[in-house]
Amino acid sequence: MILKKLFKITVFVLILAQFTNIFKSQGFNFYLFDLIVIAFDAYGFYYFLSKEKIFKLPFWSILTIVFVIFSTGTLILALNQFKISEIAVSAMYLFRYVAYVAVSVIVFNMLKTKILSIRELFDILINSGSHTCNSRVYTVNYIT
């Protein structure tokens, strides 16, 4: 299934972390995994809203929605107190936060609809962690 493969790609690209920097300017960084997360979110929402016609929000999503509304409000109130570049950086971090929360909501729906089992989720996360440890060791050895 495409959604499961896209999730695995998302987790794998997250392993690369800072090595995937695409754009950097005035406190604003844009990474390859930002693009992958946005693609995963877009396809995940499309899949669950059009194909499955079932989309459930986890119980904690109410707190996230309140936080995003509050954060957006404070961002709007700060428009005349900060430079446009600072507002853009803040807005990008808020957008990034929403995108990462959306990943967790999509994974929640993948688990609920049995597209992904808890065992598969743990296997993906554990494998990504072991690859992360190995890549960190190789990076340290390469640098020193």
pLDDT averaged per 10 residues, the chain (length 144): 90 77 74 89 93 84 93 93 88 92 94 92 84 51 46
- pLDDT of 55 reads 83
- pLDDT of 142 reads 44
- pLDDT of 132 reads 54
CA proximity to 7, closest of 100, 107, 111, 95: 107
H or E element at residue 93: helix 84-112
- pLDDT of 131 reads 58
pTM: 0.80
- pLDDT of 140 reads 44
CB atoms near residue 139 (< 10 Å) = 11
Q: Domain total for the chain?
A: 1
At 32, which amino acid appears? L
In sequence order, the 6+-apart residues with CB closer than 8 A to the CB of 68 are 94, 97, 98
At 22, which amino acid appears? I
Residue with tokens 């971090």: 93
Q: Which domain holds residue 70?
A: 2-143
